[in-house]
Chain A
């Protein structure tokens, strides 16, 4: 069964460093998302991406964040200068708006980011 894959599963970084989290969405999906969950808190929407551009972003998604689909298969989230409060589990998701599962988001296993 097709699935969304994320790498790395866990990354530890120093405050101020750049981090890139990678996602491979399901191949025929057209919408892509990043969510995050700070430990003990809710899963929060960060950004949605469609047709090679951001379609919506939350107030969390400030200038320190960026997303890219560099090669037609990967979907990346970059944090330019990490802060302690960026420590969280980051989930990638994708959606096929045209197929049988048009309403459903498919999530990856998550990438845990720890900022020291």
Chain B
């Protein structure tokens, strides 16, 4: 148990849909992350939030839009996605400046 809960676990969406992924943690860690994991590729860092402020945007297309309303919740809003966006999307938390990441179980996204 990593203290990070992601919903939904699985999501199938069409290219014209709008959906949101949710990540929740209640351990008081102030850094939260979105990673993308595609088959045969390394985990790709997408966004970083420190103390609710976005500190990194790793050249992610604008069809992915993150939101961090408070230190316990992180969202990834999705719209007009492409089939190549199908992947496992992982949320993680850490102490700010910490080297140890705690990952959620991820959302397996399929874009049709």
Do chains A and B interact in one complex? Answer: no
